[in-house]
Amino acid sequence: MNPIPEAYKSYIRQDLAALLPDGEVDTLISALETTEPSVAIRLNPLKTGSTGASGIAAMQMADCQVAWCPQGWHLSERPDFTHDPAMHQGRYYVQDASSMIISHIVGHLSRKINASGPDGSAGGAPLRYLDACAAPGGKTTAAIAMLPARSLIVANEYDFRRAEILKENVIKWGAPRLVVSRGDTARFSALEDFFHIIAVDAPCSGEGMMRKDATARDQWQPALVDQCAARQREILTNLWPALAPGGYLIYSTCTFNRTENEQMLRWLSDTYHAETMEIPLPAGCEAIRVGERGSMRFFPHLVRGEGLFIAVVRKPGPAYPAVAALAAPRQKQARRQDGRTQPEMPEFPLLSRHLNIILPEVNGEPEKPSKFVKAKPQKAAKSECAPTQAQALSVDLAPDAYPRIEVDLAMALAYLRRESLPHLEAPRGYVLLTYGGYPLGFVNNLPNRANNLYPLPWRILK
């Protein structure tokens, strides 16, 4: 039983009366109080490939796909995710099923932008995507696979601790050309007309989480709704200049009230002449309520997921410009210590000037080239830097970059606990451990032991 505050019950009955039929608000309240939260995972298509979910322990509890996300699976119960190495490898992400709708929306918008582009490269031209309130990373990782190859993804988080969680999760996902930044969204206003798509999963009063989060129930009060709405308007004001003409802004909250949802769309329309968009839904999604201005609402008494509001608006302007026209000035490429040039990413210097970037390693564009050095297949030179966990889990890591050795479940968990490991029957120097055929992380194999290089803050403590 999850007792909902009586003040909230009275508030939401009045607020949603125009949206839900008679009596259905009480059905919603009952679902929040008496039913269990749903559990779902989303597979990483960058890492599962044609083998699907083979070797993922959590998939033993899977009972059906999420209707609006082919990579999403509902689970019949919550397994022990902590002790499933596949989760730490980034082969799947634990995410509420409702939130997975972002993958469908991003895929639709990507196709729409490319189809209207003057370069005629339908489905192929890379895009610039910003997730402005990205922690813990579920919506960011869901969007990645739906963007064209070589698209640039920027994931931003204001709170330092949440930014560290975001950093960990996107490293595990392993996608290239992904930058994590930390700071206020006001920084993005300097990147005028830069992004094709901006996603704003806005900080909100959290009413949609009341079934699973006691804090959401205990902290609710009408003043919180007003405070959140003011903060949402501030965030949207900061980000609007960074959206290119003809670009799309995806706005979402995990709350029910109209102040933070429909009224926010009206404010965008009145203030910036934002054009609301309707996103067609795939078959089998009849339980999703499509409402005012094309918005979608997920109610826990109707769908197998938590509460969510999501909508898309378009920035007025001419047909979307060619991607090349938005390119940042090309910079002279830095050379690594091994003589190879850094991967091309002309936008990176521009981002570095305006944003507090905390994760340059994932996209292969470190702040200092000396931080990113490829280890030799045999014994490492004394001057070599240890390879990073970002390299280990990146899908761009060459198969022959390091010696590899497959480990069993017990060894994998010992590694994830950052325990001491014995010497491995493998070449001396940096060795990549794999589990189930996928990278797990690096060790430095010495004559009498293997130094565990798993990041200390990430270690399993349970």
Topology of domain 377-458 in CATH is Nuclear Transport Factor 2; Chain: A, (3.10.450)
Percent of the chain with pLDDT over 70: 86
What is the model's pLDDT at position 22? 81
Q: Can you list the residues of the chain whose pLDDT is less than 50?
A: 50, 118-123, 321-343, 360-383
What was the pLDDT predicted at 55?
Answer: 82
State the pLDDT at residue 117. 52
pTM of the model: 0.90
Res 121: pLDDT: 39
Domain with CATH 3.10.450.720 in the chain: 377-458
* Residues taking part in catalysis: 254
Residue-level pLDDT at 363: 42
Query: Where does the chain hold its CATH 3.40.50.150 domain(s)?
Result: 97-372
Q: What is the structure's pLDDT at 350?
A: 87
Inter-residue contact 87 to 81 (CB < 8 Å): yes
CATH code of the region 97-372: 3.40.50.150
Phi, psi (rounded to 5 degrees) for 314: -115, 140
Q: What's the confidence (pLDDT) of residue 346?
A: 78
Q: Which long-range contacts (CB under 8 A, 24 or more apart) does 156-163 make?
A: 156/130, 156/131, 156/132, 156/180, 156/181, 156/182, 156/183, 156/185, 156/188, 156/355, 157/133, 157/181, 157/182, 158/133, 158/182, 158/183, 158/184, 158/185, 159/135, 162/135, 162/136, 163/135, 163/358
